[in-house]
Amino acid sequence: MNQSKQITDGALLIGVFIVLLLIAMFVPAAILVAIFLLPVPFILYASRYDWKPSLLMFAVAILFTLLFATYLSLPITILVGIAGIMIGSAIHHGLSPYETWGRGAIGFIAGLVLVFLFTQFILQVNLVSALNEMFDESMEMSQDIMGKFGLANQAEDQLALIQEQMSMVMDLIPVGLAFVAIALAFITQWVSYKVMNRLENKQLKFPPFRSLRFPAAIIWVYFVALLFTFVDLDPNGVFYLAVVNIMSLAGLIMTIQGLSFIFFYTNHKKWPKAIPVISVILTLLLPFLFLYFVRILGIIDIGFGLRDRIAQSKK
C-alpha cells in the first residue's frame, strides 16, 4: 500500500514538475518565478519518503524532461532536483530550518557546478571565457569612444582601475555562485514551507533571524584563510583563488552572524525594531563604514558566545 502511494505521489508530482518546466520554457518571463517553484515537487516527495525513493523520481523527471522539453532544459531539472531532494530529506529527518537551509544551499551549489560542467563540455560554452570576452569588448568600445572625444589620456587610469576591479570580480565567481545558491535555497525553502503548510496542514516556518548561529568552526576557516592573505601567492594560481573565495565566503557568514546578533541584542534590550533594520540597510549601503564592525561582532559572538553571556547576565 505504501509503495503504491509512493508511485502515485511520484507520478502526480512529476506531472506538476513537467507542467511548471514547460511554462518556464515557453514563457521566458515566468522563469524568475518558476526557478523557486520547480524544486517544490521534489521537496514534497523527499519530505514524505526520504532521499532514496526520491532518486527514482529524479531519474524519471530527467527522462520526461528529455521527452517533453529539450535537452537544453536538462540543467534546470538537475539543479532543482538535487536541491529539492536535499531540502526535502532534511525536512523528513526533522532537521532545524537553518540546517535544512544549509543542506539546500549545498544542493544548489552542487547543481550549479553540474550546470557549469554541462555548458562547458556538452554545449561547448565556456562561461568564464564568454564573460572575459564581453568585458574586453566593452573596454575597447569605451576606449574608442573616449578617443573620439580626445579623452583617451585622462581616461587611461580610470579604465585601468576598472579593469583591475573586473579582474577581482572574475576571481570571485565561485563565491558569487555560493551566494546565489544560499539565496535560492532560502527562498525555495520558504516557498516550500508555505505550500506544505497549506497542503499538509503543517506549521513549518523559519525561526526568528536573531536565533541564527553558525558553528564555531567557521572562525578557524576564516582565520586560516586570513593568514594566507599575508603570504605572497601567485595571483593567477588556483591556491590564491581558493584563499580569496574562502575568505570572502567566511567573511560573509561572519557578517550575517553579526547582523543576527544585532537583532538578538535589540530584542534583548526591548529596543525599537527599526534599529536592526536600519543596521542592515547601513551595512548594505555603507559597507566601508559598517561592514567590518558588523563582521567583528559576528566573530566575537561565535568565538566567545557573546549572546550566551548576555542571556546569563540577565538571569
Reported as a single tens digit per residue, the pLDDT across 59-91 is: 999 999 999 887 778 889 999 999 999 999 999
Query: Mean of the per-residue pLDDT values for the chain?
Result: 86
At residue 222, the pLDDT reads: 87
How large a percentage of the chain has pLDDT more than 90? Answer: 43
Check pLDDT > 80 for residue 123. no
Rounded average pLDDT over 110-124? 83
At residue 29, the pLDDT reads: 78
Q: Kindly indicate the confidence band of residue 153, based on its pLDDT and cuts at 50, 70 and 90.
A: low
C-alpha–C-alpha distance, residues 308 and 160, integer Å: 48
At residue 120, the pLDDT reads: 79
Q: Higher pLDDT residue, 12 or 306? A: 12
Check pLDDT > 80 for residue 2. no
**Could you tell me the pTM of the whole model?**
0.85
Of 150-164, 208-222, 247-261, least confident by mean pLDDT is 150-164
At residue 197, the pLDDT reads: 94
Rounded average pLDDT over 111-135? 78
Check pLDDT > 70 for residue 139. no
At residue 163, the pLDDT reads: 67
Of 6-15, 131-140, 200-209, 300-309, least confident by mean pLDDT is 131-140
At residue 294, the pLDDT reads: 94
At residue 154, the pLDDT reads: 58
Check pLDDT > 70 for residue 152. no
At residue 310, the pLDDT reads: 85
Q: Higher pLDDT residue, 281 or 161? A: 281
At residue 237, the pLDDT reads: 77
Contact 43, 192 (CB under 8 A): yes
Neighbours of 285 (CB within 10 A): 9
Rounded average pLDDT over 43-57? 94
Q: How distant is the alpha carbon of residue 77 from its chain centre?
A: 17
Residue 148 corresponds to which cell in the numbers above?
573620439
Q: What is the pLDDT of residues 193-215, one digit of tens each?
A: 999 999 988 899 999 999 888 88
Check pLDDT > 70 for residue 146. no
DSSP state of 118: I
Q: Exposed e or buried b for every residue in 49-70, given b needs 16+ CB within 10 A? A: bbbebbeebbeebeebbeeebe
Look-up of cell digits 576591479: 165
Check pLDDT > 80 for residue 48. yes
Ranked by mean pLDDT, the top range of 115-124, 136-145, 226-235, 273-282 is: 273-282
Q: Kindly indicate the confidence band of residue 159, based on its pLDDT and cuts at 50, 70 and 90.
A: low
**What sign for the dihedral angle of Cα 295, 299, 305, 309?**
negative
Ranked by mean pLDDT, the top range of 114-128, 133-147, 291-305 is: 291-305
Q: Going by C-beta distance under 8 Å and a sequence separation of 6 or more, which residues neighbour residue 18?
A: 61, 64, 65, 68, 69
